[in-house]
Amino acid sequence: MKNKHILSIKDLSIKDITEILTKAEKFLNKRNKKKNSFTNKNIINLFFEDSTRTLTSFELAGKQLGASVINMSIATSSIKKGETLIDTAMTLNAMDPDILIVRHNMSGVPYLLSEKVNCSVINAGDGSNEHPTQALLDALTIKRHKKRISGLEVAILGDVLHSRVARSNIYLLNKLGAKVRVICPPTLLPPNIEDLGVKVFKNLEDGLNNVDIIMVLRIQKERMSGSFVPSEKEFFRFWGLDRKKLNNAKKNALVMHPGPINRGIEIDSDVADDIGRSLILEQVKLGVAIRMSIIDELLK
């Protein structure tokens, strides 16, 4: 891989993606053996937004590879004292880290930082733009369960408007030859999303027809009190994935969710906890392997 940073799926070639996925599977097989190849490397997790699984996943991945991982807590950082984003980045850069892993609630922040620092930058989620490592781990999950990605019908369901996971997945799945559709209330549909190469469905039952994979997105509660959607109850009734609606998809369709899930809102517990259909915990597991693979590529 030639890339210095992992900022967007758009920057990755199909070859890059294949390499990342293949290497991740290798890491998956020998997870227990700690490699000490990167003992002299430093990784800083710079998370401006709350996160459990992504932060932990990156931390574990870095440590499994023997690198030193520092988690910057924004709550106690100089940002709180009024330091600008760029100044914080420059300060950290002066300490000469090898990788900066950035999450921010504003789209484009990882790009901005990557132009200012000397080290590699990994985008761990920026605003409503992208979450490339999530898409990569989703692709690996699909590949391991369906043996292929090309030709699959994948539905992305829920709050597409605000979702960086949706965007990264649309780019990635399209690159790998899947057919992507989005299903959401019209108020949560980004304008002209068809231009990204997806089909649009407003109705869940219609949208699930002939689908192999359903990626359910998280919807934030504050968006369901009348602004975008009238109520949680109505969202669940029309766009929440339950057993009955799932029956509209292919018989062996599998369900994914980037987490954390809102039970009884975007997904029914009955479906979320069905080990025959739900890949939710598998996604978390593969997340560590994908991040090891990416860190390994960048540190090599």
Partner 1 sequence: MKNIVLKNAIIVDPSQKINSKGSIVIKDKIIFDLILNKDISFDKNNYNIIDCKNLMLCPGFVDIKCHLRVPGEEHKENLSYASQSAASAGITSLVCMPNTDPIIDNVSMVELVQRKVRKESDVKIFSTASITKQLKGKELTEFGLLKEAGAVGFTDAIKAVDDATVMMRALKYASAFDMLLMQHPEEKSLSQYGSMNSGALSTKLGIKGIPEEAEVIQVDRDLRLAEMTNGRIHFFNITTSLALNSITIAKKRGVKVTCSTSPHYFNLCEEDIKKWRTYAKVSPPLRNIKNMNAIKTAILNNKIDCITSDHSPHDTDSKRLPFEQASSGVIGFESLLPLTLKLINDKKLSNKKLVELLSLHPSKILKLNSGTLKKRRPADIVLIDINKKIKLSSSLIKSKSNNFPYENISGQGKIMLTIVDGKIVFNDRSFNIK
| Binding residues for partner 1 (CB under 8 A) | 185-187, 189, 202-203, 225-231, 233-234, 237-238
The active-site residue, picked from 2, 15, 33, 81, is 81
Q: Residue 13, Cβ neighbours under 10 Å: how many?
A: 12
Residue type, 260: P
Q: What is the largest CA-CA distance in the chain?
A: 56
The active-site residue, picked from 5, 41, 54, 167, is 54
> Nearest approach, Cβ of 2 to partner 1 (angstroms)?
42
Which residue, 35 or 223, has its beta carbon nearer to partner 1? Answer: 223
Q: Is 54 a catalytic residue?
A: yes
* C-alpha span between 158 and 279 (Å, rounded): 17
Which residue, 82 or 226, has its beta carbon nearer to partner 1? Answer: 226
Identify the burial level of 19 via C-beta atoms within 10 angstroms of its C-beta, where 0-12 means exposed, 13-18 middle and 19 or more buried. middle
Strand partners, 100: 44, 121
Which residue, 111 or 238, has its beta carbon nearer to partner 1? Answer: 238
Q: Is 103 a catalytic residue?
A: yes
Residue type, 136: L
3-state SS class at 172: helix
> Nearest approach, Cβ of 79 to partner 1 (angstroms)?
31
> Nearest approach, Cβ of 189 to partner 1 (angstroms)?
8
> Nearest approach, Cβ of 174 to partner 1 (angstroms)?
25
End-to-end CA distance of the chain, in Å? Answer: 10
* C-alpha span between 146 and 144 (Å, rounded): 6
Which residue, 178 or 189, has its beta carbon nearer to partner 1? Answer: 189
> Nearest approach, Cβ of 224 to partner 1 (angstroms)?
10
The active-site residue, picked from 31, 35, 53, 63, is 53
* C-alpha span between 121 and 111 (Å, rounded): 8
The active-site residue, picked from 23, 103, 179, 181, is 103
Identify the burial level of 147 via C-beta atoms within 10 angstroms of its C-beta, where 0-12 means exposed, 13-18 middle and 19 or more buried. exposed
Which residue, 40 or 203, has its beta carbon nearer to partner 1? Answer: 203
Torsion on CA atoms 190, 280, 17, 193, rounded to nearest 10: -10
Q: Is 53 a catalytic residue?
A: yes
Q: Is 81 a catalytic residue?
A: yes
Catalytic residue ranges:
53-54, 81, 103, 131
